[in-house]
Structure 1
Amino acid sequence: MVVSKERTRAPVQAEPETSSPLVSVVLPCLNEEDAIGECVDDIFRVFAANAIDGEVVVCDNGSSDASVAIAQSHGARVVHQPRRGYGNAYLKGFTHARGRYLVMADADGTYDFRHIPDFLRALTDEGYDFVTGSRYLGGGHAEIKSLHRWFGNPALTRILNMMFRSRFTDVYCGMRAFSRDAYETVKPMNRGMEFNLELAINAALSGLKIKEIPIRLGARKGMSKLRTFRDGWRSLRMMLLYSPNKLFLWPGFLLMAMGFGLHAALVFGLLYFDGRPASAVTGVFATIASVVGFQTLSLGLQAKSYSWSRRFDRNNRLIARFHAHFRLERALLLGGLVTLAGMTILAILVGEWIQSDLLPLPRPEWASLGATLTIIGIMSQFSALLISAMAVQPYNEDAPPPSADLRVSRAESTNH
C-alpha cells in the first residue's frame, strides 16, 4: 500500500481522477463546520500512520455555513448533492469515490477514525464483505440519547433480526465499510435516513459475510439532524416493506382462508347463531375477508417476484418453483374461469329473483360467494399481468437458466 503523507490545514491538491486508492472514506455533510475539519485531519492522520493509500470524499448536501471551504482546505475532495437527504448524500458520494473499499461515517465528530484499519483488516485479511461498527459491543453507547439508547435502536435492531434472520447488535451504527463489489450487490436506493437501515437489510438478504466491530460513540459537535419518531416510523415501515412474507403473504393467506372457510360454512349450512342459520350479513364479511386476503396475497407475490428477478431471492426455492410453472396464459385462463363461475352463480340468482317477483332470495349466501369469485377472478387476471411484467429479467450472459434455480439445495435456500 502507498503511504499517504500526513495532511495539514493547508489546501492539498486533489489526486488525478484516474487514480484508484485502496480506500475512500465518504462523509455526508450538512452544516458541519464545527467538526468537518477535525474529521478530515483525523482520517488523513490514520492513513499516514498505517500506510494506507486513501482519499476523503465529502458530499455536501446543501450546507449554508463554511463546511465546504473547511473540508477543501483540509484536503478532502468535495462533491455536491443539491437534493437533501442522508441517503442522497451517500449515493452521490459513493458514486464519486474511487477506492476499492468504501468506508462511511458521519462528519460530526462522533466516530473514532482510528478504527479504519480494523475495518479494512476485516475486509482484506479476514474475508468479510460487510463490516459495521457496534456501539453496543463493549459499552460504546454512552453518548447515544437515552430514548434511542434504551428503546429505539435496540427495538429496531431486534425487529430487523427477527424479520431477516440477522444477528446485528446495532443496526443503525453510521460507521461501516465494504468492498465496492459488496456495495454493488446490496444496491441501496433509499434517499433518506433509512439508507443506513437498507444497507443492513440488503447485506443480510444477499448473504454477505458480516462482521461487527466494537466502537465507542463520541459527543456530537453541531446540531443533530435526527427526528426521533418520524425516523423511527420510517425505519419500521421500511422493514415491513422489505419483508413481504410477514407483511403480505402470511396475513393474506390466512385472511383469504378465513373468508372462504366462512363461505363454505354458509353454503353447506354449518354456521348457526342462536339456532338460526347465518344470514347474508355473514356472507358480506366472508366476501370482505376473501377479497382483501387475495389482494394482500397478490401484493406479496408481486413483491417476491420483483425480489426474485432483480434483488436477493435468486435461491428462493418456493418463488423459483412458482415462476418455473407460472405462465401468463394459464393465469389468465384460470382467472377467467373463476370469473365465469362467479358470474354464472350471480346470473342464476338474478333469474330466480326475477321469477319470484323480486322477493328476498331464500339462499342469499350464494350471492356473496358469486360476488367473491367474480371479484377475485378479475383481480387475478390483472395481478397475473403485473407479475408477468415484473418477472422479466435484465439480460445477463452469465446467469443460469431458470430451471437451475430449482436445483439449489435446501440448505442454501433463503425464504424471507
Structure 2
Amino acid sequence: MELTILMPCLNEALTVEKCVRSALDFIQRSGIDGEVLIADNGSSDGSKMLANRAGARVVDICERGYGAALLGGIKSARGKYIIMGDADDSYDFSNLQGFVAELRAGAQLVMGNRFKGGIEPGAMPFLHRWLGNPVLSALGRLFFRLPVGDFHCGLRGFETKAIREIHLTGTGMEFATEMVAKAAMAGLRVVEVATTLKPDGRDRPPHLRTWRDGWRHLRFMLLFSPLWLFLLPGGLLLMLSVVGLLALWQGPVRLGPLGLDVHTMMFCSIGTMLGFLAIQWGSMIQWLGAKSGMRPQPSNQLVKMVSRFCSIETGLFAGLALFLPGLWWALVLTNTWAQQGFGTIFEADVLRNVILAGTLMVIGAQTIGGSLFAGALRAVIDSGFMRLRAGN
C-alpha cells in the first residue's frame, strides 16, 4: 500500500465522518492505493462507529495523549507513506497532491505551512498566529537549521520507515516538535508545502492548551539543542570569566572609569564555574543523545577524536589534576590564616589566592563528578537496561 492518511481522534463525532469521506475521496480521485486510519484515543461519543461507517480503519490507542495516538497509528499504518492531520475538519484532506508529490520525489518529511497557504478568520487564536507559532518556528529554524516556516502544522506527510526509525517517544503535544527535531538530527530530507487552515467544526474547546503546550514545545526544543542552551552561552561565559579571573589575580585592573579588583574577581570565579558547568551539561546531553540513538553519531573527525580521548579515566585524572593543587593551595592559605587567629582577612592579595584556589577545587570536583556520572550512564546504556525499559 502506498499511502495511509492518519487521523488521531478523541470525541470528534461532529467532524470525523466528514474528514474520512474527504480523505477517501482524495485517494480514489488520485488513483492511489491507500487507506484512512483513525487512531482513536478513547472516544465515548460514537466517533469510532462513525469513522468505521464512513470507510476508515479504526485502531484503539489506550494510552492517552496526542502523541500517543499518533505513535499507535504510525505503528499500525500499512502505507509506505503517511499523511497525518487532525480529525476536526480544520485541514483540507481533499487537497493533498502537494504532499504526495514531494513524498514520491524523495522527501522523507513534508511539512504543511498554513501561513503560506492561508489561515481563515477565526481558524487560529490571535496569540498562536502572531506570537506562539512565529516565535517557536523561528527558534526551530535556528536550532535545527531547517527551512520550515510552520513548525507546528498538524498536517504533514512522511516516509513511514524513516519516521519509525527515529524512535519517537513523546505522548503529548510536544510530539509535533519531536518529529521535526529528530528528523533534522537524523539528516532526513525535509521540505514544506503550502496548506490551508479553516475553523474547526467542534462544539467544544480544542485539546490544545496555549501556555502549557507552548512551554512543552519550547522545553523540548531547548533540551534537544544543547549547543544553544548550554554550549555556546557556557563557552562565552567561561572564556570571559577566565580572562577576568587571571587578569585580576595579578592585581587591580582599570578599564576607563571602572576600577576592577578582588570583588570583581569573585564574580569572575562564579562565572568560570557556571560556564564550565554549562559546557559539561551540554556535552553530556550531546553524548547521551548519540549513545542512546536519539541523535546521530558525530561525523566530524576532530569530534570523534575528542570523544575517544574523553574517557572516564581521563576525566578523573583531569579532575584530580585541578582539585589537588587547589586543595594544597587552600590548605597553605588556611594554615597562614590559622597563624593569624582566623581573623578578618583584609589583604586583597590573600583573597585573590583564596578565590583562585577555590575555583580550581570546584571545577576539579565537577570534572570528577561528571566523569563518574557519565560512566554510570554508559554502564546503564550498554547493559541494555534503557532499551529493555523502552520495550516494556
The TM-score by the shorter chain falls in which range?
0.7 to 0.9
Cα offset for 1:220? 0.3
Distance 2:265 2:334 in 1: 17
- Correspondence 1:292 to 2:292: no
**Partner of residue 65, structure 2:** 85
AA aligned to 1:181 is K
Cα offset for 1:121? 2.5
User: Where in structure 2 are the equivalents of 1:7-406 lying within 5 Å?
Assistant: 21-124=1-104, 126-140=105-119, 142=121, 143-222=123-202, 223=204, 224-271=206-253, 278-279=261-262, 281-309=263-291, 310-317=293-300, 319-361=303-345, 362=347, 363-388=350-375
**Contact in 2 for aligned 1:106/1:175 (Cα 8 Å):** yes
Question: Which piece of structure 1 moves more, 42-51 or 288-297?
Answer: 42-51
**Contact in 2 for aligned 1:58/1:76 (Cα 8 Å):** yes
Unaligned runs of 5+ in 1: 1-20, 396-416
Distance 1:92 1:135 in 2: 26
AA aligned to 1:137 is K
Cα offset for 1:76? 2.2
AA aligned to 2:236 is L
Distance 2:286 2:61 in 1: 32
- Which is richer in helix? 2
The CA RMSD measured in Å over matched residues stands at 2.4
Distance 1:175 1:276 in 2: 59
Distance 2:258 2:55 in 1: 84
Q: How many residues align?
A: 373
**Partner of residue 6, structure 1:** none
* Identical amino acids, percent of aligned pairs: 34
**Contact in 1 for aligned 2:252/2:259 (Cα 8 Å):** no
Q: How far does the alpha carbon of each residue in 1:91-110 deviate from its partner, in whole angstroms, 9 at most, with x for none?
A: 11111222221121100011
Cα offset for 1:346? 0.8
| 2:286 counterpart SS class | helix
AA aligned to 2:229 is L
Q: 1:344 to 1:268 in 2, by over 3 A?
A: same
Cα offset for 1:268? 0.7
**Contact in 1 for aligned 2:249/2:265 (Cα 8 Å):** no
Distance 1:201 1:276 in 2: 47
AA aligned to 2:108 is D
Distance 1:78 1:96 in 2: 10
Question: Which piece of structure 1 moves more, 106-115 or 385-394?
Answer: 385-394
Q: How far does the alpha carbon of each residue in 1:158-189 deviate from its partner, in whole angstroms, 9 at most, with x for none?
A: 22112222111211111111112220343322
**Contact in 1 for aligned 2:226/2:286 (Cα 8 Å):** yes
**Contact in 1 for aligned 2:247/2:253 (Cα 8 Å):** yes
**Contact in 2 for aligned 1:133/1:212 (Cα 8 Å):** yes
Distance 2:258 2:155 in 1: 66
Distance 1:242 1:377 in 2: 27
AA aligned to 1:259 is S
Q: 1:385 to 1:275 in 2, by over 3 A?
A: closer
Cα offset for 1:390? 5.3
Distance 2:190 2:214 in 1: 24
Q: How far does the alpha carbon of each residue in 1:229-275 deviate from its partner, in whole angstroms, 9 at most, with x for none?
A: 22222222222222111110111122222332332133211336999
Question: Which piece of structure 1 moves more, 104-113 or 73-82?
Answer: 73-82
AA aligned to 1:60 is D
Distance 1:28 1:129 in 2: 21
Distance 2:176 2:69 in 1: 12
AA aligned to 2:352 is E
Q: 1:141 to 1:134 in 2, by over 3 A?
A: farther
Unaligned runs of 5+ in 2: 384-392
Cα offset for 1:316? 4.1
| 2:111 counterpart SS class | strand
Distance 2:210 2:102 in 1: 32
The TM-score, its normalising length taken from structure 1, stands at: 0.82
**Contact in 1 for aligned 2:15/2:89 (Cα 8 Å):** yes
Cα offset for 1:389? 5.4
Distance 1:376 1:275 in 2: 29
Distance 1:221 1:356 in 2: 81
| 2:68 counterpart SS class | helix
AA aligned to 1:39 is C
Distance 1:81 1:352 in 2: 70
The TM-score, its normalising length taken from structure 2, stands at: 0.87
Distance 2:11 2:199 in 1: 17
